[in-house]
Amino acid sequence: MDQKNENTIIISSGDESGIGPEIMAEALRVLDYFIGEQSLALEIEVAPLGAQAYFDQGDPFPPRTKAVCDSADVILKGPVGLNHNETQLIPLEFRPERGAILPLRKRYDTFANYRPVRLSEEMKQFSPLKNALLRQGVDFVIVRELVGGLYFGEKSQGINPDGLRYVREALEYDEAQIRRIIIAAFKLASSRKSHLHNIHKSNVLLSSELWNDVLSEVEADYPDVRVTHLLVDAAATAMCLDPTQFDVMVMENMFGDILSDQAGGILGSLGLMPSACVGEKKSYFEPSHGSAPDLRGLNIANPYSMIGSVALMLDMSLGRRDLADRVWSALFHVLGSGRVTQDLSAHVPDVEVVTTSEFGSLVLDELGGA
């Protein structure tokens, strides 16, 4: 098989206080496999990001990490974060989410967050929903705007004239920010089943009014795509009652953060939620979930989300959909055969519970037979 020209990939395994290094190790085994069979040419460099970087270097997004990420073709990142008590040891502005994740997104303007929600017919037993609701399985994508909204708006706090503490956070979007994420969602929908659900809260939020106005303008350029408008609270209910109705869902930042976690619950575990954070010049790939410090070192975390993020990276940044398809096929076959990590075993009888590293080995076995 012909090799692609070598790409530079930056690996940040996530905080050592959580499961990041364990699940990243299994993702790297997949990349090493493809490098070994000469399907892929990569230069891999490791760079710290998150709480551990703060403790070691006084900065959760150190200058060297910024420099190597600036020059890299793509970034693969594990989950960061600490438990509540450890988090209190770090000044607010240096905590992993505020000091590393949001600056990473802003630096590379990764405005489009794609979160695939996939559960094959063979895997639907893992969902807490009744099988009758899942029909032939679930397959939709949440497209979340990632660099605007409440998370990036102006913030202030203080004491008001009545002597009470207050906070103020602005939900800010301009039409250009909205237009580009909506165009991205329409493009994706037109390549799939041509059905786009627009998730908003226009009955109370002016930001959603502007969002809907821009969507109506863009919609004219995609006559093949059917648009369904849904309030975010109604969308939360609809996802539980009939998740099979969705193809592509587009929404602002905070709505996407919340509903994608709900989607993980529908699948049976957040461990089944990889994601792609895509900008015009650079992208990074990461699990949708946090660092799960309570699972650290137990070798029981589900590496699917991390390996799935590799599949997204292969497809969306490295131009190797052929390899991505092999990874997805391997993941689905392992889970469909009833070999699962602990998170998926609670409500399903007659499954074989495997460790993090055993799951990774099973995926490699499947790749070897592909």
pLDDT band at 5, cuts 50/70/90? low
Which is the catalytic residue, given 257, 282, 304, 315?
A: 257
What's the rounded mean pLDDT across residues 327-333?
Answer: 96
33 is catalytic: no
CATH of domain 1-118+269-370: 3.40.718.10
Contact criterion met (CB below 8 Å) for 78 and 14: yes
Give the separation between CA 198 and CA 201, rounded to whole angstroms.
10
CATH code assigned to 129-267 = 3.40.718.10
CA distance 170 to 152: 8
Q: Which of 221, 233, 322, 365 is catalytic?
A: 233
The catalytic position among 33, 108, 114, 151 is: 151
Q: What is the tens place of the pLDDT at every residue in 33-73?
A: 999 988 899 999 999 999 999 999 999 999 999 999 999 99
How high is the pLDDT of residue 3?
A: 43
Active site (annotated) includes residue 257: yes
In the chain, CATH 3.40.718.10 covers: 1-118+269-370, 129-267
Vertex 65, ends 61 and 68: CA angle to 5°? Answer: 150
- Residue 126 has a CB neighbour count (10 Å cut-off) of 21
Q: Which residues contact 287 (CB under 8 A, 6 or more apart)?
A: 23, 78, 79, 270, 271, 273, 274, 275, 305, 306, 308, 309
Mean pLDDT, rounded, of the chain: 94
Give the residue ranges of DSSP H helices in the chain.
20-36, 51-57, 63-71, 84-87, 96, 102-108, 131-134, 175-191, 206-219, 232-241, 253-267, 304-316, 321-336, 356-368
Catalytic option among 201, 282, 304, 315: 201
pLDDT at 38: 85
Q: What pLDDT digit, counting tens, does each position of 265-285 carry? A: 999 999 999 999 999 999 999
Q: Is 155 annotated as catalytic? A: no
Is 32 considered catalytic here? Answer: no
- Residue pair 267/126 in contact by the 8 Å Cβ criterion: yes
List the catalytic residue out of 73, 109, 261, 325.
261
What per-residue confidence (pLDDT) applies to 1? 37
